[in-house]
Amino acid sequence: MRQANLAIIRERYPIPTVDELLQGMNGSVVFSKLDLKWGYHQLELTPESREITTFAIHNGVYRYKRLLFGVSSASEQYQHEIAAALAGIEGVENISDDVIVHARDQETHDKRLHTVMKRLEESGLTLNPDKCQFNMDRLVFMGILLSEKGIGPTEERVRAVSEAREPENASEVRSFLGHSILVVVDYYSRYYEYDVLTSTTTTKVIDSLESIFSRHGLPVTLRSDQGPQFKSEEFSNYCESNGIKHVKTTPRWAQANGEVERQNALLLKRIRIAESEGLDWKRELRKYVTVYRSIDHATTGKSPAELLFNRKMRGKLPDISTAQADLEVRDRDAEQKGKSKIYADERRGAKYSDVDIGDTVLVKQEKTDKLTTPFNTTPHKVVGKAGSQVVVESPMGARYSRNTTWVKKYTSAHETPAEEETPQGAEDSTPNDGTPVAQAPEQSITNSEIPETQRPQRVKRLPQKLADFVIK
């Protein structure tokens, strides 16, 4: 049927999802499940369509008289015919060859079931008695348990999870994941805490932060991204009540919170290694963090634990370092940061942005397809600027915060460029006394003397600084 499917015009009849069927069965306590026999073969093909299904085997040529598997529109047509046969009956849900009759009481259920059976008989549809279930208070449908208490997992699925063996490869480990990791970094010492969360709601995040702050105290400033849990009123009230200044980084600019993003990348790398080796990623993460906190940092020259707690943290590695003054650490930190900034600026060709308040700019946009331009063609106006962060306003009044690298100045096409200035050192053709300058007599040139040019020639002029010299 591969070639035939190319010519078949599909009906595009919508097949309901499991969620849509479950929504219609809300509140029901009595269920019956009917299973149609023979599947697609219940529907008969018209004589004109049978020739399309012709096939040849060793003992002859045959063709189908009923709808067969392999037709591109078979599932849609089958769903349409069954739904049309049961149309108008309340408390009936259908998907493919499964028909569910449900009701809130036994009497209503029996009436609906009798109506469905009669309608199926009139349509010539046959049931499979071995797979039908009647008058059930608990029914398993599409792997979901239906009962008067609502929907829930089946006992087999619960037992499969509780009695599952330990994962032996990365794929099996990944199936049991689904956690989020909250990382809190101290910018001075590079010491960080992390917490594995199963939910990232504002309440869960605040509970985790309270646990961390109970060990280290409340911070003066808390820097976070633009996540919804950090922009909520509940989180704002929490910071205000504890005297914490909450600073949110520029949207879509991860470099604004670079230290945290760097630690996130290292943690994810450690998790991937643990998965590939079939190890417990939570345990391996604890081992990695213990080692990280106890070894000297390349920038500060001291371990994160020593800078935070003013004592050395004992680890497996031998300790032979000597004590250093805090002032030396700060100087070294500033020096290393300065060197890193110079190196990064030179490599990226960084330069100061001349965008200022009141300028009209274009804002960079995300690429959605091959035709998307790098910048949004709608001009925006700069209404605020703080360091490398600007606030732009669209013509509709919407405001956005972006890094200066995301905007560029906009010049309207209707603006005319300024007139070219007279080159320095050039003289006017008319003297100051008003006497006209004698012009060289014009010479007639024949067409044969005009050189043929294949392409435009660049006019070469002697630099003004060499006007007093003889050039050979």
Distance, in Å, from the CA atom of 401 to the CA atom of 399, rounded to the nearest integer, reads 7
- Do residues 158 and 174 lie in contact, with contact meaning Cβ atoms separated by under 8 Å? no
pLDDT digits (tens, 9 = 90+) for 122-166: 888 888 888 898 988 888 877 788 887 777 777 777 776 666 665
pLDDT band at 167 (very low <50, low <70, confident <90, very high): low
Same domain for 100 and 47, yes or no, is yes
pLDDT digits (tens, 9 = 90+) for 109-123: 999 999 999 988 888
How many domains in the chain? Answer: 3
Same domain for 262 and 377, yes or no, is no
Report which listed range, 57-71, 161-175, 235-249, is most confident.
Answer: 235-249
CATH of the domain at 88: 3.30.70.270
- Do residues 42 and 125 lie in contact, with contact meaning Cβ atoms separated by under 8 Å? yes
What average pLDDT does the segment 352-375 reach?
Answer: 88
pLDDT band at 175 (very low <50, low <70, confident <90, very high): low
CATH of the domain at 213: 3.30.420.10
pLDDT band at 208 (very low <50, low <70, confident <90, very high): very high
Same domain for 198 and 310, yes or no, is yes
Domain closes at, from 334, 368, 391: 334
Same domain for 258 and 180, yes or no, is yes
pLDDT digits (tens, 9 = 90+) for 332-359: 888 998 898 888 888 888 788 888 999 9
Residue 367 lies in a domain: yes
- Do residues 161 and 42 lie in contact, with contact meaning Cβ atoms separated by under 8 Å? no
| H or E segment to which residue 265 belongs | helix 258-276
Q: CB-based contacts of 185: which residues, under 8 Å, 6+ apart?
A: 191, 192, 259, 260, 263
The Cα angle at residue 247 between residues 246 and 253, in degrees rounded to 5: 150
Residue 141 lies in a domain: yes
Task: Report which of 39, 27, 32 is spatially closest to residue 117, judged by C-alpha positions.
Answer: 32
Tell me the three state secondary structure of residue 389.
strand
What average pLDDT does the segment 365-387 reach?
Answer: 88
Same domain for 315 and 374, yes or no, is no
Q: CB-based contacts of 391: which residues, under 8 Å, 6+ apart?
A: 382, 383, 384, 385, 399, 400, 401
Distance, in Å, from the CA atom of 104 to the CA atom of 356, rounded to the nearest integer, reads 68
Report the predicted TM-score, pTM, of the whole model to 2 decimal places.
0.41
Same domain for 20 and 89, yes or no, is yes
Residue 427 lies in a domain: no
Q: Residues in the chain, how many? A: 472
Same domain for 195 and 308, yes or no, is yes
Same domain for 201 and 61, yes or no, is no
Q: Residue 38: left (phi > 0), alpha (psi -120 to 50), or beta?
A: left
DSSP of 2-52, one letter per residue? HHHHHH-----PPPPPHHHHHHHTTT--EEEEEEBSSGGGGSBPPHHHHGG
Residue 239 lies in a domain: yes
pLDDT at 15: 80
Task: Report which of 257, 250, 203, 205 is spatially closest to residue 226, judged by C-alpha positions.
Answer: 250
Same domain for 135 and 187, yes or no, is no
Residue 32's beta-bridge partner residues?
101
Distance, in Å, from the CA atom of 265 to the CA atom of 288, rounded to the nearest integer, reads 13
- Do residues 305 and 191 lie in contact, with contact meaning Cβ atoms separated by under 8 Å? yes
Same domain for 278 and 187, yes or no, is yes
Does the structure show a pLDDT above 70 at 440? Answer: no
Domain closes at, from 334, 350, 377: 334
pLDDT at 162: 66
Residue 115 lies in a domain: yes
Same domain for 389 and 268, yes or no, is no
pLDDT band at 213 (very low <50, low <70, confident <90, very high): very high
| H or E segment to which residue 86 belongs | none
Q: How many Cβ atoms are within 10 Å of 67's Cβ, its own excluded?
A: 21
Does the structure show a pLDDT above 50 at 307? Answer: yes
Find the range with the poorest average confidence among 4-8, 165-169, 225-229, 369-373: 165-169
Residue 450 lies in a domain: no
Residue 462 lies in a domain: no
Domain closes at, from 153, 182, 203: 153
pLDDT at 20: 80
Same domain for 148 and 187, yes or no, is no
Domain assignment of residue 377, given as a range: 360-409
Distance, in Å, from the CA atom of 109 to the CA atom of 90, rounded to the nearest integer, reads 10
The Cα angle at residue 346 between residues 340 and 350, in degrees rounded to 5: 100
* Per-residue three-class SS string for 142-158: CCEEEECCEEEECHHHH
Residue 470 lies in a domain: no
Tell me the three state secondary structure of residue 324.
coil
What average pLDDT does the segment 176-201 reach?
Answer: 83
As to burial, measured by CB atoms within 10 angstroms (0-12 exposed, 13-18 middle, 19+ buried), residue 2 is exposed
